[in-house]
Amino acid sequence: MNGENNSQKSLSLPSLTALRCFEVAARTEHFGRAADELHLTHGAISRAVRLLEEDLGVRLFERRQRRVFLTEAGERLYRAVREGLGGIRQTAQALRQQSRPSSLVLSCEPTLLMRWLIPRWPAFQALHPELDVHLMAGGGALSFDSGIDLAIRRNDFHWPEELHSQLLFEERTGPVCQPGKVAQFFERREEGWALRPSAPRLHTKTRPSAWQAWRQHAGMSADEEVPGQRFEHFYFSLQGAVAGLGVAIGPYRQVCDDIEAGLLAAPLGFVPDGSGYHLLAPTKPEPGSPHETLANWLHHLS
């Protein structure tokens, strides 16, 4: 009887939940990032991997400082799990599209959604009234297993290699402020406008290095920390600039409508910051599919 139980155990599949935790931890090489992506705790990821190692009787990771690295056995399992989950993901996506061929769920980073996509959305609906696309806010790591069909994300984090990615536009940033405050916050020089050292900077917790990154990509030297307000979300810093509270770093597509409307000014223009926004999907769009229709429209906007 005991031999029969051991035989049955050797033929059984490991826990699918544990395999999913293992796959994300292997891909990110970090239990904490895996926990964030799967909306679990660090302890839950660690327990899942430990149970998987006990079930298989091998070590899957080597732990060095705060990162984890696959062992030889872990590499073998990762290749198999990635291939298996990739096939399941593609089949599930195809079945979803078959069951609701004209419906999509599009996840987009919140500020880009509010300030760029939604103002243009009536044009898409007028062009394609037959398509039912649900917009939802979301940023950073994502899982298409949660009912999302497509996602717009900035490439400031790692996503799975097997996802289909299409670059929509490169990110360009620059200082913006209320037009009536330009003379107060900027000064004229022979080479053009320059930011006054005393101009209050508006900062945000979601992009804490925005000012430093802009100066670097604009070819400027490091700037001393200038007192200014700090906001919880990037959107609030842009609204603070509209209200005249100071100067914020504005991504072009999130401020272009306000500039055209005369609510914001960008005396120094915009420079590429090395990142870009991508349309992500589990698979490449099928010709004539709602996915392709939406992707083509987004590229037209860019």
- Return the pLDDT at 102: 60
Q: How far is CA 10 from CA 2, 18, 59, 83, 123, in A?
A: 12, 17, 17, 21, 57
First and final C-alpha spacing in the chain? 66
Burial of 188 (C-beta count, 10 Å sphere; 0-12/13-18/19+): exposed
What is residue 7's predicted lDDT score, i.e. its pLDDT?
A: 47
| Spatial contact of 174 and 271, defined as CB atoms under 8 Å apart | yes
Q: What is the DSSP string of 109-155?
A: -HHHIIIIIHHHHHHHHHH-TT-EEEEEE--SS--GGGS--EEEEES
Q: Which pLDDT tens digit goes with each residue over 286-296? A: 888 889 999 99
pLDDT score at 270: 97
pLDDT at 1: 46
| Residue 119 near residue 125 (C-beta atoms within 8 A) | no
CB 301 within 8 A of CB 120: yes
Sign of the C-alpha dihedral computed for residues 247, 249, 252 and 253 taken in this order: negative
pTM above 0.85, yes or no: no
The secondary structure element, H or E, covering residue 248 is strand 247-251
Cα three-residue angle 287-292-295, rounded to 5 degrees: 155
Give the model's pLDDT for residue 269. Answer: 95
Give the pLDDT of residue 97. 58
pLDDT, residue 265, reads 97
Is the separation of the CB atoms in 217 and 273 below 8 Å? yes
Q: Between the CA atoms of 297, 162, 108 and 88, what dihedral angle is there, to the nearest 10 degrees?
A: 100
Candidates 47, 51, 73, 48; CA nearest to 60 is 73
Q: What is the mean pLDDT of each run of 10 residues along the chain (302 residues)?
A: 50 83 90 87 92 93 85 92 81 63 84 95 93 91 84 90 92 96 92 89 90 90 72 92 96 96 96 94 89 92 80
Q: Which of 288, 167, 186, 165 is nearest to 247 (CA)?
A: 186
Query: For residues 132 and 146, what is the distance between their CA atoms, to the nearest angstrom?
Result: 18
177: β partners: 265
CA dist 110 and 236 (Å) reads 12
Binning the chain into helix, strand and coil, the percentages to the nearest 5 are 45, 25, 30
CA distances from 227 to 121, 136, 203, 224, 246 (A): 38, 35, 10, 10, 10
**What is the per-residue pLDDT for 227?**
64
pLDDT, tens digit (0-9, with 9 covering 90-100), for 9-21: 555 788 888 998 9
* Cα separation, 153 vs 145, whole angstroms: 17
Q: What is the pLDDT of residues 185-230, one digit of tens each?
A: 999 888 888 999 889 999 998 888 899 999 999 888 766 666 678 9
* Predicted local confidence at residue 68, as pLDDT: 87
Cα–Cα distance for residue pair 128/83, rounded to 1 Å: 35
